[in-house]
Amino acid sequence: MTPDERRKALDAIADEIRDCTRCRLHEGRTRSVPGEGNAETEVVLVGEGPGFNEDRQGQPFVGAAGSFLTELLGTVGWRRDDVFITNVVKCRPPGNRDPEPDEIGACTPYLRRQLDVIDPALVVTLGRHSLGSFLPGARIGQVHGTARPGTTELGPETGLVFAMYHPAAALHQGSLRQTLLDDAPAIPVALLDARERRERIAAAESHPQPALPEAQPAAELDPQPALPEAQPGTDQLTLFTRDARTDPR
C-alpha cells in the first residue's frame, strides 16, 4: 500500500465512524473521534474512549490528559504527529463511564481496520480497557511498562503490545503520574524489540530452511548467510516512519 493509499484508507474509515450508529454511544455524542496522526508510523497508541473535550473537538487526547500524553511522548523525543492515536470506542460513553462489552464489540472492527492499514510494529495500550482488547486477562498493575505479543485478532500480527496506564488516571491519582513517567522510556526499547521480532519472523517466512539433502557431507552444504548484527546505539531509538525505513537519508 502506498502512503497515499494508506491515508485514503484511513480517511474512508474515519468517514464511516463519523456517521456510525452501530451502538448506543452514538445517541449522546457531539462528535465521534476516529483518531489522528501519522499514517506511516510504526507506533499506534490506543486509549479507551473519548472524554468531554474529545467529544467536543472530535480529536483524541485533548485537554489535560492529552497534554500529559504529549509530555510523555516528549520524554522519549517523540511528538504526537510521529504516532497515530485512537481509542477502542470512538464515541464518548455518557458521563465518562466505562464502555460496555457490547459497545467495545461493536466498535472494535473499526480499530482492527485502522491497525490493518497502518500495520504498526508496536501498539501502546493506554488504560485497562485498551489492554483488555489486546491482552485479555492481563492485569495492568502487573504488566504496565512491559511489552509482549498481542493475543487477540487485533494483533499486531508480528509486532508487540506495550501496556501503560491511561494518562487521565494520573490526573486523579497522583502516584500514577510518576509511574507513567517511569514507564515511558521503555516504549522506544519495546519498539526496537518489536522491529527485531518482525524482522526475525519475516526472515523466517521468506527464507524457510531447506531440507537437507540426504547423506551430503556438512562441508558441501551452502553456508547460511549471517544475519546482520544488531546495531545498538541511541540512533536506533529514533522513531522512524515507514518512509524513513525505505528511504534512510
> Site residues (CB under 6 A) for ligand SF4?
17, 20-23, 25-26, 32, 89-91, 103, 106-107
Q: For residue 35, what is its C-alpha cell?
A: 483518531
Q: For residue 91, what is its C-alpha cell?
A: 464515541
Q: Say if residue 192 is exposed, middle or buried (CB neighbours under 10 Å; 0-12, 13-18, 19+).
A: middle
Q: In terms of DSSP H, where are the helices of the chain?
A: 3-18, 52-57, 63-75, 101-118, 128-134, 140-143, 167-172, 174-183, 186-206, 242-246
Non-local (6+) Cβ contacts of 77 within 8 A are: 188, 237, 238, 239
Give the residue with the Cβ less far from ligand SF4, 99 or 156: 99
CB of 113 to ligand SF4, least distance (A): 12
CB of 245 to ligand SF4, least distance (A): 32
CB of 26 to ligand SF4, least distance (A): 4
Distances (CA, A) of 41 to 2, 3, 9, 78: 13, 11, 15, 11
Give the residue with the Cβ less far from ligand SF4, 112 or 177: 112
CB of 142 to ligand SF4, least distance (A): 29
Give the residue with the Cβ less far from ligand SF4, 19 or 214: 19
Task: Map residue 239 onto helix, strand or coil.
Answer: coil
Give the residue with the Cβ less far from ligand SF4, 107 or 191: 107
CB of 60 to ligand SF4, least distance (A): 13
CB of 249 to ligand SF4, least distance (A): 39
CB 35, CB 13: distance < 8 Å: no
Give the residue with the Cβ less far from ligand SF4, 30 or 158: 30
The β-bridge partners of 44 are 84, 123
Give the residue with the Cβ less far from ligand SF4, 102 or 196: 102
Q: Within a 13 Å sphere around the CA of 211, how many CA atoms are in the beta-carbon half?
A: 3
Start-to-end CA distance of the chain, whole Å, equals: 21
